Each structure stands twice: as C-alpha cells, then as structure tokens.
Structure 1
Amino acid sequence: MTDLAGGPAGDGLPAPIRLRGAAMSLITLLGGVSLAVIPAATISISSRLFTVPEQGLLAVAVLVATFTGQITFAVVVESRLSSVVSERRVVFPLWLASIAVVTALVVSIVPPNAVLLAVALPILLAALEVGRGVSVAERLDRREIAASIAVGAGALIGVLAGFASLQWALIPLVLGIAFATCVRSLPVQHRASRPHPAVMGWVIADTAITGVVYPLLNSMILAFLGSADAVLFASIATVSGLLAIPLNFMRLRLLKEHSRADVVLSAASVLAAVVALLVLEFTGIFGFLFGTAWTGSATLLPLLLACGWRAASLATTLPFTSLRRMGEVRLLTGLRAISSALTFALAALGLALQSLPTVFFGLLLAELLSAFFYEVARRRRAAASHRETTTLDADAEDA
C-alpha cells in the first residue's frame, strides 16, 4: 500500500500529495483523542452518578474493558497485519458493530446502573478499538475523522451533563459511540485477508500476556488500598493514555511498513501530549473532572511517572513492529511473557510499599528494560537474516 505520509512507499510521490497525506495522517492521529477520552469520560461521569464503591468497581471495569478491546483487536486486526504471506487487509466486522450498537442503545434506555455499565464497557471499547484500528491501518481517514468527532462530542456533552448531576449523562456518551461504530462499519472495496490460525494464536497469546497485567494490578489495588486509590490509579492511567494515542497510531502504521515520517510525527505528538497533561494538572482541570479521588491525593509525581512509562513505549514499539513485520510471532510471545512478568513484579513491589508513585515507577522501569530486550532481539534477528542472505548469494554464485 502506498504510504502517503512518507517513508519508502511515498518517496516517489509529488510533494503536494505527500504533504496532503501527512496532513491527513496528523488529523487522523489527533482523532485518537476520542478513543482515549471514553475511559476518562466514563470515570468522570461515574463520579457524579454512582457511589464510591460503585466507582471502584467501574475503575476496574474500565481497565478490564481496555484489555477486552486489546484482545478483540488482536483477533480482528493485528493477527492479519502480522501475516507475512497475505495482503494484510482488514475490515470492521459487522457482527461486532451490531453488538456494540445494540449495547449502546440498551445503556441509553435503562436508568444509570453501575453493573450494566461495567458489562457494556468491554463491548463498547472493543468496537472503538477495532473500528479505529481498521480505519488507521487502511487509511480510511475521512470516515475516521467523522467517527472521532462523534465520539468526542458525545463524551464532551456527557461530561458536561455529569457536572450538572443529570441522570442522562451517559446517553450522549454511548450514542456517540454507536454513531461512530456505524460510520466505521460502512462498506469498503476490499476484503479482509484470511487469518492464519498459528499466527492468530501467537498474537492473541502475547496480547493477553501483556494486557492482563493492568486490570489484575488495579484489582489488587482495589482489594488492598481501597476504592479511592483504585479510582486514582485508573484515572492517572487513563489520562496518561493520551500519550498512547500517537504510539498506537505509529504502531499500526509500522505494522504495515516502516515510515520515518510517522515515527517523527508520533514522537513530536508524545511530547506535545506531555505538555498538555501538565497544563491540565497545574490548572486544576483534572481535579474538576475526577473529583475527590484526584483532589484528595498528591498527583503530580505519579502523573509524571505515568507519562514517562507511556513515553518509554516509543523505544519498545520500533523493534516490536520490526519483529512483527519479520513474522517473528513466537519470539515476540516469549519476549512479551518476560516483559509482562517483569512489569507485574516491579509494579507489585510498589503496591507492597503502598505507594502509587512507586507502582508507576515500576511500570516505567519495566518498559525501559523491555525496550532493551526487544532491541537486542531485533538486532540478532536482523544479523541472522543478513547471514542467511549472504550464504544464499554465495551458494548461487558457486552454482
């Protein structure tokens, strides 16, 4: 596929086309904010509609929903993008879109209920994760812009209604998701590549190994530190997820092919996101959004550590996507297992010390160590590939 944003596939295109492609990439990247605001908006609205124990339940449910979205994304999108013997095309499945729209309608009709919302969140976030992933990977930029506006507008209206303690605050949030899902499921001209069971199995395994750490960790925080700390952990993890938007964008693009322009754009966006989060922290907006869970604790240090943890993913993503493109699914699963065990151990150490800043420091340290392991593996695989190519060339010359 032609890479309009730059890189090897786009170097031969005229400058105006490359510039237009880069602008569309930037707009699509910014549209990722809509995906990140849904967990934050859910926590904010919940703080006005539900009791503290119910908020603790939903704080865990948000991370469980994020994990579910990652698994669904692995099945529908990443397993196909990780195949080295297909065209690596993806589409938004109608079955997922239908379930998500029905779920959103049910939540909008039934009066606010924490248990119902906890059950609905995994379905809604799975649809958002897959729908955006398909649009970014296939460069369906125009429909993605419309979908992002719908999600963002619904979240904004819902949060504002939550500030006023209006019982219908969840309705615009879920209806925005439903509209975006309909837009993202519009027909496309291509068909999805057939998934390879072996590749899919390895991709799902390493996604599950990595993603299960965070809901499990927050469940432990809820059990040992209480609902307030669980809500605070989920809140900080959610707002620092703003940094994950450009990183996920870069990851999707690099799974297709390497692009220097997308790497530079994503890195600059990460820096801009850190600045934006600090501005929101110092102006007290986060305290206003999340209520006493945020204002009742010192949040600057854990927020900085959470930003460092997210930003460190930049160093992990580059070798990870390179190994994905090489088809090294088994190697990556082993690396993910090591990384997840390390992440959980270091974060659990912080939990044992009953300190959220130490938990986030453990996550940061684990990410940096993981980046080192991934890069070592990538260099060894590249060296082995070079030796194999040299040997084949020598044998051909001898023949």
Structure 2
Amino acid sequence: MNEAQRACRPLAITMGDACGIGPEIVARLWLDQAIHSALVVGSPEVMRRAMDCVAAARGCAAPPQVVALERAEDWLALPAGAMPVWAPPGLPADLLAAPLGQIDERAGRAAAVCIRAAVRLAQAGVVAGMVTAPLHKESLALAGESYPGHTELLQAEGAPAGQPPAPVRMMLANDQLKTVLVTIHVSLRQAIEGVTYDAVLETLRITHRSARLWGQPAPRIAVAGLNPHAGEGGLFGDEELRIIGPAIEAARAEGIQASGPHAPDTVFMRARHAPPAHPGEFDVVVAMYHDQGLIPVKYMGLDQGVNVTLGLPFVRTSPDHGTAFDLAGTGRADPSSLLEAWRMARQLVDAYAAVLPDDSSAS
C-alpha cells in the first residue's frame, strides 16, 4: 500500500451499546464537523435516531445525512459532511425496539457484532484503525459473550488466523498521565492473584514496545507496588520483594528503563506531566490492577481520557467512560472523550506508519 492509499483510509467507529450514549456522541462528532475520514460500523436506523436526537437538543434544523452503505469501502463516494454507516451482517433486526437507557440483550449482541466487523476491516486494511464507543458489560453478557469487555474481546478477535491471541494490555491516557494495567476486568481478589512475575514482565515489555511506536524509544516506566507503601520492605506484604521487583530487574536486563516498585499513593503524582510547573519524572506508570491505575487518570477529567489497547496488530482507542444510560436519548451527552479517542487513534496511526515502513499497524 502506497502513502496516498494509506493516508485516505478511514478510522472505523463502532456505535457501542445502542441503548446508551454511544450513538449520540458519535452523531455529535458529525454534527459539530469535528472529524473526517471516519466510517461508522453500526445500525443506520439507530444512528439516524441518534442524529435526530442530538440535532433536536442543539436546535439544528438540517443535521448531517446518515447514509447506509452496502460495502464499507463505499464511504469515499459520499458527499462531504454525510455520515457513512455500514451495517455488518448479524445485527438484530429489531434493534430499535431495545429501550433506551436499559440493559438489553439485543444491544449487547449488536455491539459485539460491530466490534468483530471492525476488527475484520482493520485486518483487511480497509480502515486504518478503530475507535469504539462504550458498550455495557451486562448487555454483552446477556448476549452470551464470555468476554468481560472490549479489551478481552479485541484480544481474541485480533489474533491472526490459526494463531493464539497475543498478550494485550489496557492503557488509559490523557495529556498529563499514561497508565498501563497488569490486570484488567477481574475481581480485586483475582487481580491480586494475577500479579505474577510473568504478567508484570510482559506488561513492561508491551509498554516499552508500544512507546517506541508512538515516538518514545526509551520510555521511563515507573512500576507501582501492589501494597501500601509498596510493601514497606515486606511489612505490609511481600509481593514487591517476591514478584514485582524481580520482574523489574529482568526488564532492566533487557534494556527497558523501568524503576520501582514505587509507593502507589505517590507514583502517579510524580509521573504527572504538566510543564513548566510540574514536569513528570516518568513517561508512563504500570499499575497492578484496574482501579489503582484508572482512578488517577479519570480524576483529572472524563473529557480527555482515552483508553488504548496495547499489543493488538492494529490501532484501537475508546473514550474512558461508560454507556451513561441516564443520559441516553437526551442528546446532551458530552462527546469530548470520544473526540480525544479519535484524535489519538489518528496520531497513533500516523506515528506507527513512520516507524513501520512495511505498513504493519502492530502496537
């Protein structure tokens, strides 16, 4: 694929849970003319409803046209400003009947269908990467999906045919802080059990490789401890001595600039990069479990946080919030985080292309 062909590929945006705010925040991006070169993977009927809802809430008499595509590749033929929507095979025929603001099996099934279809488009090179609007994990479970969220489903679907899924990690990032998780969507008890030598070392390797692709060949990686005060020399737990510390040493032996384990109650403040007053000591923090790593980023504001899946063979980002059922159907949901996810996906696609001349998008 030459440079011109690469540059014109769109990003796929999945509509998310049809009963949540996903379709509406996607519609806002078109209504505000905030993005270009993007293709919506979802239900044209749901997206028309969302566009009408958002347009009414904002007093827009002539919202952008929502156009159903027979083939994803047909998006280029649309007039400027129109929203191209490709409905993948397998969407529930009665999706509009699923009530807004409620958990529904049909919405969960549709969300999974759209994710799988977007992965296929990315693998085929039709799209440059994918941005996923929020889904609801309970709706996903009702649809019979065994995956607890986007990350695990993408890991399974992103593996090349005949190959086992590659290890992936979840990163949440904004302009001031990046955090990567060792464990993701499991109970806290399971997360503690999941903090193993291999898991920590693999997380450091994935973080290091990914940072190289986004332009940091030698990232300063801080590793948070699991226990208060990083165990205080074994007084409050010995995982830092038995597991985390040895994994850090092994990573350093491989040339990875990792340090720690650091006290988890201060390492995120130290890593926060807000120059000139507060230049960060680290480029990214590896956290042991979901809330340890995500609370600091989300506390800075949900409007700028972006979820990035590291380790996939293509770019994938998403907003850092959920389906917000209480706002569904009002047209008032804030699309800022989705817009940041789109911008970061485009930046990552461009950055990866600069260091991967073979046109691979592996992250």
User: TM-score, normalized by length of structure 1?
Assistant: 0.24
Which one has the bigger helix percentage? 1
TM-score (norm 2): 0.26
